Structure 1
Amino acid sequence: MIKKAGGAEQYNANKKYTAAVAVAAEACAEDTKGQTCYICTQALHWKTKEGLVRGCSCRGTAGVAHVSCLTEEAKILVAEGEENNLGQKVLTERWARWFSCSMCKQEYHGVVRCALGWACWRTYVARPEVETARQLAIGVLGNSLSEAGHREEALTVVEAELSMNRRVGASEREMLATQSNLASSYGELGRLEEALEMYRDVYFRTLKLLGEEHKDTLLEANNYAHCLLSLRRFDQARPLLLKTLAVAQRALDNGYETTLRLSWHYARALYENTSATLDELREGVTTLEETTQTARRVLGGAHPLTESIELSLRDSRAALAAREAPARLGGLAL
C-alpha cells in the first residue's frame, strides 16, 4: 500500500489528509447545513462523498465549499502559474489559495486550515527538496497544524522545515520566517524562555533586513511582544507595542490582522498589569472596545481572533470595575 501510494511520506500525507477532511466536515456540519459548494454547486462531493466546510470570514451562504474543491482549485491555479511563467507576484497570490479564501481574502482557521495544510503537503511532498513548491508546502503544513492546536506535530514539522532550509541554502528571509514559526511552537508548548530568545533575534534581524514598516517586521514585533506578555514583562512589551502600533497604523490598513493583534496586545499590556493605574485600565478597555468593533466588521464574530479580543474585553471591563469600586466607595465615605 505504501509503495503504491508513492512512498512513506506520500502515504502518511494521504492518510492525514483524509482524516483531517473528515474532522473539518463534521465540525462545520451545522454551519453548512442545507447549503452547497460554491465551486461544484453540490452538497455532497460527487467523488469523495465529503461534507461541506467554511473556515473563513464569509457570511451567510458565501464561502461554503468542499476541501477537495478548494484543493483542486489551488492546484490548478498554481500549476498554471508555474507552467506559464506568470511571475513571482502572480504565483504568490495564487499560492495563497492554499490557506486563504478567494472571496473574503481572509486566512482559513481551525480544522479547515488543518485540512488544507495536509492537502497542500500531499500535493507537493513528492517533489525534490530544492523545488520552491515543496519548500512552501511544508511551511503551510506547519502553520496549519499550529493553527489547529496540534502543537507537538507542528513542532516536528517546523524542525524538519528548518533542517531542510539549511540543506538547500534558503535565503535569510526564508530562514527568519521558519525560525519565527519554531519560536511560536516553543511558546505554544510552554517553552517561553526559548521562544523569547528566538523571537527577539528574529525581530531585530528582520528589522535590519526589511525596515520598520515592512509587514514581516511588524508581524515579528507583535510575536516578540506577545511572548513578553506571556512572561508578564509588561514594562518591556508596552513601549514596543506602542511604537509598532503607530508604525502599523501608518503603513497598513487598520483592518489588517497584524494591526488588530498589535492593538489587542497593547491593551493587554495595560489591563493585565497589576501595577497599572486607573487611567491605564480605562485606556485598555477603550482600546479593546474599538478593536472589537473593527475585528467583528473585518473578520466576523466567529473568527478565533475576534473571539480572543472579545474575551479580553470582558476581562478588562471586570478588572476596571474591580478597581473603580473601592474608589467609588471611598468617595461616598468622604
Structure 2
Amino acid sequence: MILTQCAVCATDLGLSLGKKCGRCSTRYCGAACQKQHWEEGGHDKLCKAIKKAGGAEQYNANQKYTAAVAVAAEACAEDTKGQTCYICTQALHRHTKEGLVRMCACRGTAGFAHVSCLAEEAKILVAEAWENNLDSKAFDKRWRRWDTCSLCEQRYHGVVACALGWACWKTYVGRLETDEAKGLAMTQLGNGLSAVGNWADALSVREAELSTLRRIGAPLSAILAAQGNLANTYQYLGRLDEALPLRQDVYSGRVRLSGEEHELTLVAANNYASSLVDLQRFEEAKALLRKTNPVARRVIGASHELTLRMGWTYALALYKDDGATLADLREAVTTLVETTQTARRVLGGAHPLLAPIEISLRNAGAALSGALAARDPPPRGA
C-alpha cells in the first residue's frame, strides 16, 4: 500500500496529516512516535538508505516491488521451466536474476517474460508517447502495456498483475500529484492489489486516489473512474450498501459523459448490475443487462472479457432469483455454457474468471434439475 499511516502506531494520516522525518520523509502522527522510531525502531540505521532511494514513498515502493516480483516468479516457476524471456531472450534476468512469469492468455512457448523487462518496455513506450505528443488513443494503448500482454492482448492476472502494479507505482511515485502519470500509476497499483485479493490495502489506495483527484480538480472522467474503483473495493469487502450508490452514480455519469455504447459505460453497467444482484434486486439487474448486453456483443464483441463478465452477471440474476421460472433457469444454463466455452477458448484455462463461471454453471444446472424434478416427480416406488 502507499504510505498513509504512522510508521510506528499505524494511525491513519490520509495524504497530508502528521509530520515527516526531515531527511527521508517517513511519516508519523507526531513527535513521540518519531522519537520512538529513531531510538527503538531502527530508523536511525535506515534513514540514510531511505533518503538515498528517493524518500519514504519511493523506498516503500521499491521494497514492495522486489517482494512482489519474487512472489510472481515463484508462482510461475513450473509454467516457465526451460523457457526464455521474449524481450531479453534470457532465462534469468541479467541484472536482477529474477525468474520468468506469464499469467496472461498466451499458450505453448509464447508470452514468457521478466517483470522487469515488461516494466522497462512499458516505461519506454509511455515516455515516447509523451515526447512525441501522441493523441489520447495512442497514449492509452501504450499505457495498457503496464497491465496487458502485447502478444495475446489479454490482461495479466494474479500475482503478475500485482507485481506490475508495484512496478508502475515505483516508476512514477516521485512525480507531482498533479502529474497524470502519478494518478494513473495509483490506479494500476490499486488494480494490482485487487488482483491478489488484498482488498484492505487496495482500499487505502483507492481512497487516496479519489481524494487526490478531487483536491486537484481532475476531469469528471477521472473522478468517475476512481469512484468506480472504490465501489468495486467496497463490494469485495462486503460493504454492499456503500458500493451500490457509487456504482449507480458512476453508471449514470458514464452514460451522460460518453454515451451508452462506450466501453467504460458498459463496465459501469456490469458493475452496477453486480451490486443489484448481490443485494437480491434481481429484476432491476435483469432489466439493465437485457438492455446493455446486446450493446456489448455488438460494440466490443462476444468474446471480449467484459462481454463474458456481463453474460455471467446476467445468468446470476436469472438463476439466483427465488422466483425464477423454468425458462429463466434454462436461459441461465445456456448463457453460462456459452460463456464458459468462450472464456476457456479466449482467456485460457488458468484465467481467474473461468473458475467462478464454472461454479455458477454447476449451481444453475442444479437449480434447473431441482425445478424439473419438482415439476415432474418420479412415480411412487420408482
Question: Would you call these one fold, judging by a TM-score over 0.5?
Answer: yes
Cα offset, 1:88, TM superposition: 2.2
Aligned-residue RMSD, C-alpha: 1.5
Q: Does 1:315 align with 2:363?
A: yes
Aligned to 2:344: 296
Q: Does 1:287 align with 2:316?
A: no
Aligned to 2:166: 118
Aligned to 1:207: 255
Q: Does 1:161 align with 2:209?
A: yes
* Partner amino acid, structure 2, of 1:40: C
Cα offset, 1:183, TM superposition: 0.5
Determine the C-alpha separation between the residues in 1 that align with 2:125 and 2:202: 27
Cα offset, 1:6, TM superposition: 0.2
Aligned to 1:59: 107
Cα offset, 1:40, TM superposition: 1.1
Aligned to 2:273: 225
The Cα offsets for residues 140-161 of structure 1, whole Å up to 9 and x where unpaired, read as 1111111221101000001111
Aligned to 2:304: 256
Aligned to 2:189: 141
Aligned to 2:147: 99
Match of 1:34 among 79, 82, 95: 82
SS of the aligned residue for 2:86 comes to coil
Determine the C-alpha separation between the residues in 1 that align with 2:245 and 2:381: 50
Q: Does 1:306 align with 2:350?
A: no
Cα offset, 1:218, TM superposition: 0.7
Aligned to 1:193: 241
Aligned to 2:288: 240
Determine the C-alpha separation between the residues in 2 that align with 1:125 and 1:107: 23
Aligned to 2:52: 4
The Cα offsets for residues 245-297 of structure 1, whole Å up to 9 and x where unpaired, read as 12212222111111111111111111111221112111110111111111112
Determine the C-alpha separation between the residues in 2 that align with 1:23 and 1:217: 35
Determine the C-alpha separation between the residues in 1 that align with 2:74 and 2:179: 35
Aligned to 2:44: none
* Partner amino acid, structure 2, of 1:5: A
- Structure whose CA Rg is larger: 2
* Partner amino acid, structure 2, of 1:191: R
Which 10-residue stretch deviates more, 315-324 or 260-269?
315-324
Aligned to 2:68: 20
Provide the identity percentage. 63
Cα offset, 1:90, TM superposition: 1.9
Match of 1:267 among 312, 315, 323: 315
Structure 2 gap segments, 5+ residues each:
1-48
Structure 1 gap segments, 5+ residues each:
none
The TM-score normalised by the length of structure 2 is 0.85
Determine the C-alpha separation between the residues in 1 that align with 2:260 and 2:129: 31
The Cα offsets for residues 54-85 of structure 1, whole Å up to 9 and x where unpaired, read as 11111111111110110111111111121222
Aligned to 1:277: 325
* Partner amino acid, structure 1, of 2:203: L
* Partner amino acid, structure 2, of 1:297: R
Determine the C-alpha separation between the residues in 2 that align with 1:182 and 1:326: 43
After superposition, where does 1:172-183 map in structure 2 within 5 Å? 172-183=220-231
